[in-house]
Amino acid sequence: MAAAVWLECVSVAAIPPEVSAWNLDDGEASVVACALSIPAATTLLDDRAGRNCARALKLPVIGTAGLLLAARSKGLIAAVEPILRKLMAAGMYLSPQATTEILKRAGEKS
C-alpha cells in the first residue's frame, strides 16, 4: 500500500492555554494545538468537546464519518459501510440513526 501524501504525523511541543482551557483529552488537545500551528489544517475529531473547541477557535473540523464520505465521493474507497462496521466493531460508537444517515449520504442505503 502506498503511503498517504496528505497525512503527516507531527509532535506537539505544548498545548496553548486557549486549548487547555477546554480540558480535553490529550489526543484531542494535541490535534487542536497542531491545527492552530498549521495554516489550512483541518482537524479530524469525533469527540464532541474536541469538535466544539476546534470550532470555537475557528478551525475546520471533519469527523471519521465525514472523512469516509469524502473518500467515497472521490472514489478512494468503494463503500463506506464495511469500513464503518469495522470501526464500530473496534469500539467506535455511532447511534443507529447516525449510522443510517451516513449510509444514506453515501448512497448505500435508501
Farthest CA pair distance, the chain:
46
Q: Quick one: pLDDT band at residue 9, thresholds 50, 70, 90?
A: confident
* CA separation for the pair 23, 53 (Å, rounded): 10
> Residues 87-99: what's their mean pLDDT?
95
> Residues 75-98: what's their mean pLDDT?
96
Q: On the CB side of 100, how many CA atoms lie within 13 Å of its CA?
A: 4
- Could you tell me the pTM of the whole model? 0.82
Q: On the CB side of 27, how many CA atoms lie within 13 Å of its CA?
A: 5
* CA separation for the pair 34, 24 (Å, rounded): 14
CA-nearest of 26, 36, 29 to 57 is: 36
